[in-house]
Structure 1
Amino acid sequence: MKKFIFNCIIGFVIVITLDFSLGKGLEYFYFKQSSGFQYRTTYSIEDTEDDILVFGSSRANHHYKPSIIEEEIGMTCYNTGRDGNFIFYQTAVLKSVLERYKPKLILYDFTGDFSNNQEDYDRLSSLLPYYKNHSEIRDIVNLRSSFEPFKNLSGIYPFNSTLGNIVNGNLLIKDIDEYTNKGYVPLYGKWKEALKENNSDEQYEIDPNKIKIFKEFLDLCKQNDIPVVVLVSPIFYKYESNFSIELCKKKCKEAKVPFFDFTRNKDYLSAPNLFDDPDHLNDEGAMIYSKDVVETIKYILNK
């Protein structure tokens, strides 16, 4: 019996040592990245000090060109958008930013919805590498599951799905590094199909956590005296009504936050050549849209 207990203790020590050692190695190479979407998240959370920050998911990442905004407004700009990451991610990044400094203006590109969707909680894994050193985001990451505080005691767990991207980010893959401009990632396809109707007016069960976290984002801006503008960038399909957009508009109105919806703009709906796919502008479209955003910023700043 004593031998069994001794072997169990030795096995436990070996597992803990391996977990710690491998975890430290993964952590080192994760934060050593100098390109790719994980590097851009790290830069957004820990380094950016730009005057204007863009928040959002893939439509933010591919639609807002900081170079145009900087040139026209005379302020520095960084795009914190990340594909496939929505309300939870954006508020977590903002909380980390505010630990360091206060931006002069925030542009929030609304994409996604307020539905109860487990996939959106699963996507909080993108924030796991920052859990240990950024206590301000833990309450959001803990929404993923009640076991997150215990899982994150592991050295490997925060990085267990990042290995391939860590390799790319450390190798300075040309296609990733060369075409990235202050967080903006251009798309170069040209959509050729006709405009279609999208049925997006169906109501769904609202996730109270998403409403709470979206409100927290707007409240944090107000508490820190940071002007915030919520925008819905162009899409290439038409719809009668959109439950998510209308709900977002309502919440912005309640918070007295400017809201601009470009999804019905005929200049974009009549120009498929400005899109990479129905949900995303290509680089040419992003250039035009960024100039429209500049006019919106000027309007807000001059009010």
Structure 2
Amino acid sequence: MNQFLKEKDELDLIVFGSSRANHHIDNAQLSDKSFNIGMDGAKIASAATLLMTLPENKEQTVLLHLSPGYAYDTLYNGDDIKALSKLYNQNKIIKREFDQLNKITFLKKFFWTINFNGSTLGLLKNYFFPKNDVTNYKGFDPIKVTEQQKEIFKKISNQKIDITCPNDYQLNSIYEKYINDIDTFCRKNNKRLIIFTAPIYKDDCKKDDNALSLFLNKKKITYWNYTDLFQNNRALENWRDNTHLSDKGAKIFTDSIKVKLIANK
């Protein structure tokens, strides 16, 4: 996050979202001046908050991953924004979103160090022994799949699971709020907003995909649904699990994104 916040004003393309953004799009193949700030466990609150820290009135392409299943989860309450808690007193946009969601305690507002409890050793380790070379790292973290993991997924993929899909889908109110917020922000500040859904090996419910597509189309927000990208290519080497691609699958997916970006300039 610190690297993203330091570089964000100079970027041309930024990828936001969950692990399905972080591990799936090799953004360096899309732009030399890019960053992938996808994070494990991120949903709309944390992703949209980081998106709205981008500079005003600078032309940038924004790729935001949304999972329809989460968008229509009535129990979602925005708790993923807590991953940004260390920045609460350092960034006014992040502070604003925490306050609006009421996700900060009274003590944490005034005692800044509480947000760093349990993180001291990790911060020191990352400072003196960084995991990545910041001069070359652009945020993308491909997944290398072991032979054991391949066998486990092979067994799981052959299992038949009966899933009942709801007949009615109501967009979660927090998702609706943030989609409206980022749409307004991007239109106002010269950002090209593209919301996308990454591939899934087996997608048992299509109604949520269709509902999200209809909602975004009505708002005239570009939506690229890649759920079925691998429908005709069932090679297990492209997958880590049902919703995460391997490094090989990520390359195919990135190439698909690249082709569409070029075709839709």
Per the shorter chain, which TM-score range?
0.7 to 0.9
Contact 1:61–1:79 at 8 Å: present in 2 too? Answer: yes
User: 1:60 and 2:60 equivalent?
Assistant: no
Distance 1:200 1:43 in 2: 42
Distance 2:232 2:119 in 1: 36
If each structure's helix is expressed as a fraction of its own residues, which one has the higher value? 1
Secondary structure of 1:234 counterpart: coil
Q: How far does residue 212 in structure 1 lie from its aligned partner after superposition?
A: 0.5
TM-score (norm 2): 0.83
Q: How far does residue 267 in structure 1 lie from its aligned partner after superposition?
A: 4.9
Counterpart amino acid of residue 221 in structure 1: C
Distance 2:241 2:183 in 1: 30
Distance 1:266 1:284 in 2: 12
Q: 2:132 aligned to 132, 153, 177, which one? A: 177
Q: How far does residue 85 in structure 1 lie from its aligned partner after superposition?
A: 1.1
Q: How far does residue 125 in structure 1 lie from its aligned partner after superposition?
A: 1.8
Q: 2:34 aligned to 77, 100, 105, which one? A: 77
Contact 1:121–1:143 at 8 Å: present in 2 too? Answer: no
Counterpart amino acid of residue 89 in structure 2: K
- Summarize the Cα distance change of 1:218–1:115 in structure 2 as closer, same or farther, 3 Å threshold: same
Which 5+ residue runs of structure 2 have no aligned equivalent? none
Secondary structure of 1:277 counterpart: coil
Distance 2:120 2:170 in 1: 36
TM-score (norm 1): 0.73
Q: How far does residue 123 in structure 1 lie from its aligned partner after superposition?
A: 2.5
Contact 2:89–2:112 at 8 Å: present in 1 too? Answer: no
- Summarize the Cα distance change of 1:250–1:172 in structure 2 as closer, same or farther, 3 Å threshold: farther
Aligned to 1:123: 80
User: 1:154 and 2:118 equivalent?
Assistant: no
Greater radius of gyration (CA): 1
RMSD, aligned CA = 2.7
Which 5+ residue runs of structure 1 have no aligned equivalent? 1-40
Aligned to 2:3: 43
Sequence identity (%)? 19
Number of equivalences: 252
Q: 1:284 aligned to 228, 234, 248, which one? A: 248
Higher mean alpha-carbon deviation, 228-237 vs 150-159, is at 150-159
Distance 1:55 1:142 in 2: 22
Q: Which structure 2 residues correspond to residues 16-27 of structure 1 after superposition, within 5 A? A: none
